[in-house]
C-alpha cells in the first residue's frame, strides 16, 4: 500500500472516532505511521485530504445486485438485506460522524450516503423485474415501500446499539423480517416464489 492510501485509510479511522474537527493532521499522521510533513506534501491541506477521502468513499461504495431472473424473492431479498445491513453497521461510526456534520460539510455527508441511494435504485429495478415475472402486484407505492425499507435498514444500522428494543430481535432474524415486510408491501406472495422455485427445479 502506498503512502497516499495509508494516509487516506488512517484519516477514515480517525474521522470515525473524532469527527472532522477532532481528526487533526497529527493524529492522522500518527495513525498512518508518517509525519505531518509527509501528509501535507501528499495532500496539501487537511481540507483537500478530506475531500479526497469523501470522494474515495463514494466511489468505493458498491451495492450487491439482485437477480435479473428471480427464483425465490424472499430468500434473495433476505440475503441482499443482510449484506447491505452488515455494510452499514460496519461503517456506522463514519456515517454517524458524516451525518452529524451535515450542515457544516454537506458534500461529505452526501458522499457517505451514496450507498443507500444506490440501494434504492437496485430495489426499484428488482421490483420491476418481479412485476415482469408476474410475482408482484402491477401497481403500488413502490417508492414509499422502498423508503420505508431503506429507512429501517439505516435506522437499524445506526441505532440498534443504543436502542435495541426499537428493532426486530434477535438481530440475526431482522433481515428476513424486513425483506418479508417489503415483499408484502409490493404485493409478492410467498406461494408465488415457491412456485417459481419448483418450476426452475
Return the number of other C-beta atoms located less than 10 Å from residue 110's C-beta: 14
Of 192, 38, 2, 39, nearest to 11 (Cα)?
A: 39
**What is the mean pLDDT of the segment spanning 113-142?**
87
Sign of CA dihedral 102, 108, 114, 116: negative
Q: What is the pLDDT of residue 145?
A: 95
Q: What's the pLDDT tens digit per position in 61-73?
A: 668 899 999 999 9
> The whole model's pTM is what?
0.77
Say yes or no to pLDDT of 196 above 60.
no
Contacts of 112 (CB under 8 A, 6+ apart): 54, 57, 58, 94, 95, 98, 99
Say yes or no to pLDDT of 200 above 70.
no
Q: What's the pLDDT tens digit per position in 141-192?
A: 899 999 999 999 999 999 999 999 999 999 999 999 999 999 999 999 865 4
End-to-end CA distance of the chain: 46
**What is the mean pLDDT of the segment spanning 85-103?**
85
The alpha helices in the chain, defined as continuous H runs, are 3-22, 25-32, 36-43, 46-60, 73-90, 92-100, 106-112, 114-132, 142-159, 174-185, 190-200
Helices 25-32, 46-60: crossing angle, 10 deg rounding: 60
What the block records as the C-alpha cell of 174 is 431482522
Which of 58-62, 91-95, 129-133 has the highest average model confidence (pLDDT)?
129-133
Q: What is the pLDDT of residue 112?
A: 66
**What is the mean pLDDT of the segment spanning 89-118?**
77
Spatial separation of the C-alpha atoms in residues 31 and 25, rounded to whole Å: 10
Amino acid at each position: 500500500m502506498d503512502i497516499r492510501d495509508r494516509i487516506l485509510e488512517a484519516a477514515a479511522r480517525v474521522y470515525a472516532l473524532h469527527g472532522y474537527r477532532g481528526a487533526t493532521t497529527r493524529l492522522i499522521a500518527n495513525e498512518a505511521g508518517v509525519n505531518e510533513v509527509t501528509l501535507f506534501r501528499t495532500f496539501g491541506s487537511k481540507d483537500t485530504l478530506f475531500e479526497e477521502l469523501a470522494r474515495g468513499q463514494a466511489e468505493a461504495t458498491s451495492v450487491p445486485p439482485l437477480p435479473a431472473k428471480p427464483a425465490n424473492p424472499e430468500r434473495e431479498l433476505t440475503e441482499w438485506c443482510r449484506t447491505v445491513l452488515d455494510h452499514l453497521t460496519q461503517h456506522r461510526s463514519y456515517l454517524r460522524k458524516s451525518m452529524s456534520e451535515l450542515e457544516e460539510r454537506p458534500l461529505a455527508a452526501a458522499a457517505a450516503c451514496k450507498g443507500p441511494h444506490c440501494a434504492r435504485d437496485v430495489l426499484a429495478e428488482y421490483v420491476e423485474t418481479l412485476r415482469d415475472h408476474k410475482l408482484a402486484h402491477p401497481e403500488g407505492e413502490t417508492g414509499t415501500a422502498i423508503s420505508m425499507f431503506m429507512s429501517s435498514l439505516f435506522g437499524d444500522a445506526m441505532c440498534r446499539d443504543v436502542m435495541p428494543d426499537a428493532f426486530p430481535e434477535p438481530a440475526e432474524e431482522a433481515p428476513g423480517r424486513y425483506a418479508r415486510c417489503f415483499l408484502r408491501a409490493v404485493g409478492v406472495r410467498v406461494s408465488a416464489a415457491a412456485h417459481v422455485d419448483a418450476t426452475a427445479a
